[in-house]
Amino acid sequence: MTQPLLLYGMGSPNVRKVVILLEELELPYELRHVAVFKGEQFTPEFQALNPLAKVPVLVDPKLGRPLAESGAILIHLAEREGRLLPTDPAPRSEVLQWLMVQMASIGPMFGQLNHFQILPEGSEPYALGRYHEQAQRLYRLLDDRLATREWLAGGAYSIADIATYPWALYIDRHGFDWARYPALRRWCDAIGQRPAAQRANARMDEAFTTVSNQTRTTASARDLDLFFARSEEMPAADYSAVTR
């Protein structure tokens, strides 16, 4: 009997993309919630899995060691199963390029916009404006690219699409109009209709939604300082929107 993979996480885009890939590959896996709003990621037990104290972390019996960083996990699983990452150099390099666009630009910029949007209005106008503009540029980049092709890279659905899709769903939260990004909308709809994406949503909801909401809404000010890495040397910040 095949031993299931174990994925530590919560309801973030970086966890969701791994769950989508696990479903696409039809691999047996278990999900284990990490209470990041209560500081569980900073416990010695979790930091033994990932010293950076971040989710997701994958435990694959075939590796013999935990694997962190969502992009590395996607590459490992795709190579392990020989799917969703081309082997020919040209399409493979293109897929890896667009995976890195998500890892190096889309995730960090969208994540920073999320962060500054939760602070009280007017408290960080420059930061909010900067990351809004960066997000707009990246949504436009994706829409322009997808206007000329069905999938992001390599001529087929791949881990580049899987990695980017959960982040692209922030477009409403970021205050942008889907009507300005029709190609991006078409692509998101196509991925969202895939059975694997729908199964991933159901698994994520079952494993994470209720417990994540409970830990988020009951997080203390100290818990949120830990989550957002605010030290005593930094100005105080009002994170109360997180717990509403």
Q: What are phi and psi of 9, to 5 degrees?
A: -175, -165
Q: What is the pTM of this model?
A: 0.97
Classified by CATH at the fold level, domain 89-193 comes out as: Glutathione S-transferase Yfyf (Class Pi); Chain A, domain 2 (1.20.1050)
What confidence score (pLDDT) does residue 115 get? 97
Q: Which residue intervals of the chain are DSSP H helices?
A: 13-25, 44-47, 70-81, 89-101, 107-117, 125-146, 159-168, 182-192, 195-204, 210-217, 221-227
Superfamily of domain 5-83+196-243: Glutaredoxin (3.40.30.10)
CA angle 70, 71, 77 (to 5 degrees): 85
pLDDT of 148? 98
Residues in the chain: 244
Would you state the pLDDT for residue 1?
A: 61
How many other C-beta atoms lie within 10 A of the C-beta of residue 36? Answer: 24
**How much is the pLDDT for 2?**
77
**What residue spans define the domains of the chain?**
5-83+196-243, 89-193
pLDDT given at position 8: 98
5-83+196-243 and 89-193 have identical folds: no
Q: What is the pLDDT of residue 159?
A: 98
CB 14 within 8 Å of CB 69: no
Which of 149, 173, 197, 167 is closest to 101 using CA atoms? Answer: 167
Which positions of the chain have pLDDT values less than 70? 1
